[in-house]
Amino acid sequence: MGVSKNNTTAFYGKGGAGKSFLTSMVAKTLTDRDNRVLQMGCDPKHDSVVQHFGGAFIPTVLGTWAQFSKDGKEEELAPEHIIFKGKGVYCIELGGPESARGCGGRGITFGFGLLEKWGLSEWNFNYMLLDFLGDVVCGGFGTPIARSMADKLIIVCSNEGQSMYAANNIASAVRYFAEQGGKTRLLGLFVNKDDGSGKAARMAEFLGVPVLASLPVIPQAEIAASGETHPLIAAAIDQVIDAIDNKPAYVPKPVDFHEFMCVLSGNAATMDGTAVSSDELWSLPEIVDMSGIPNGGALDHRYLEAEHDADKLLVPTVVSAGGFAVPSADW
């Protein structure tokens, strides 16, 4: 396919890192600034765009195709059946197979195949934002990188180890396909739920890319009390948009993640707290010697019990509320 004529940016990161929140905020802000924006959710759980529809789920590409196919009308399937508009933002959810009945990555690849057939790269949008699950390493979820469908990529992560591990894997994919002639480049990291430890920022240094913005944990009550977009969130969104519009993107440097974790204070240490080099790591039996720990190293499990109130369960709807399908003449 090659890079779209639209400004196309992919947002990647571990599940729960805040990709959908960031993508949706960027999409809404760009739309409020009189841009035509398409946000595409590329995750089987298809919840990327719910903020634009009052929490409702919109029909997915794969689900709609399956229904048309069941009715023998798959050749009649068209973009206006799967593009919905919520709060001014044009939205698509690729979706995925039913649980344990298919491969999510292959579903993503199939969905993109349909969109490419419909001329995705030529659609009339100022910005296309792709929200991708990033802690799955199968090829389907790497489609925008492998096919150069996105010209820029932003990794959303926290300072937590698994989140940084996923970030490193994503950067590795960008580097690999760049070396094969791919066009997708990494803009940098967005550090969400920033605890001030600086670990993700150090990861960015190792990768040779910048931290585009960081956002601390903001209490929900404080967000609600502001009445509008919280100033810290608004500032971070502005920084991300400025990066998309004006900042250079890079082929990231390789990082041995295990060695990287060893140089971070507190991740690998002797019993007295002295930092351990990666060369020394495997020769220190005291790291796994539990004899000096109270209770012989027995783990103290604490379970937090929560009351289960069936009357308060929130069940998401499966059709869009407040959104509508967009005829092909309008997109």
Q: How confident is the model at residue 101 (pLDDT cuts 50, 70, 90)?
A: low
Q: pLDDT of 74-87, one tens digit each?
A: 889 888 898 999 99
Q: Per the structure block, which two tokens stand in for 10? A: 């992919």
pLDDT at 327: 60
Per-domain residue ranges for the chain?
7-255, 256-288
Which pairing describes strands 211-215 and 37-42: parallel, antiparallel, or unpaired?
unpaired
The percentage of residues in the chain with a pLDDT greater than 90, rounded to a whole number, is 43
**How far is Cα 235 from Cα 16, in angstroms, rounded to an integer?**
21
Q: Quote the CA–CA distance of 2 and 5 in Å, as a whole number.
A: 9
Residue with tokens 């990555």: 105
272 vs 5: CA distance, rounded Å: 57
Is it the case that residue 115 has pLDDT exceeding 50? yes
Between β-strands 127-133 and 37-42, what pairing exists: parallel, antiparallel or unpaired? parallel
pLDDT score of 285: 41
SS3 of the chain: the string is CCCCCCEEEEEEECCCCCHHHHHHHHHHHHHHCCCCEEEEEECCCCCCCHHHHCCCCCCCHHHHHHHHHHCCCHHHCCHHHCCEEECCEEEEECCCCCCCCCCHHHHHHHHHHHHHHCCHHHCCCCEEEEEEECCCCCHHHHHHHHCCCCCEEEEEECCCHHHHHHHHHHHHHHHHHHHCCCCCEEEEEEEECCCCCCHHHHHHHHHCCCEEEEECCCCHHHHHHHCCCCHHHHHHHHHHHHHHHHCCCECCCCCCHHHHHHHCCCCCECCCCCECCHHHHCCCHHHCCCCCCHHHHCCCCCCCCCCCCHHHCCCCCCCCCCCEECCHHHC
Least confident stretch, 40-49, 129-138, 267-276: 267-276
CATH architecture of 7-255: 3-Layer(aba) Sandwich (3.40)
Buried/exposed code over 274-303 (b: 16+ C-beta within 10 A; e: otherwise) = eebeeeeeeeeeeeeeeeeeeeeeeeeeee
Token reading at 224:
């609600």
The rounded Cα 64 to chain-centroid distance in angstroms is 24
pLDDT at 232: 94
Sheet of 324-325: strands edge to edge? 211-215, 185-192, 152-157, 7-13, 127-133, 37-42, 89-93, 84-86, 324-325
pTM value > 0.85: no
What is the reported pLDDT for 121? 78
pLDDT digits (tens, 9 = 90+) for 180-214: 999 999 999 999 999 999 999 999 999 999 999 99
Q: Are strands 84-86 and 324-325 parallel, antiparallel or unpaired?
A: antiparallel
According to the model, what pLDDT value does residue 227 have? 72
State the chain's maximal CA–CA distance in angstroms: 72
C-alpha–C-alpha distance, residues 91 and 322, integer Å: 13
Beta carbons of 61 and 92 less than 8 angstroms apart: yes
**Count, residues in the chain:** 331
The answer to whether 257 and 165 have CB atoms below 8 angstroms apart is yes
Whole-number percent of the chain with pLDDT over 70: 72
> 139-143, 207-211, 258-262, 263-267: which has the minimum mean pLDDT?
263-267
Q: What does each C-alpha distance from 268 to 93, 166, 182, 273, 320 come to in angstroms?
A: 41, 19, 36, 9, 48
Q: What value does the mean pLDDT take over residues 95-110?
A: 65
Instruction: Calculate the average pLDDT of the chain.
Output: 79
Is the pLDDT at 104 greater than 50? The verdict is: yes
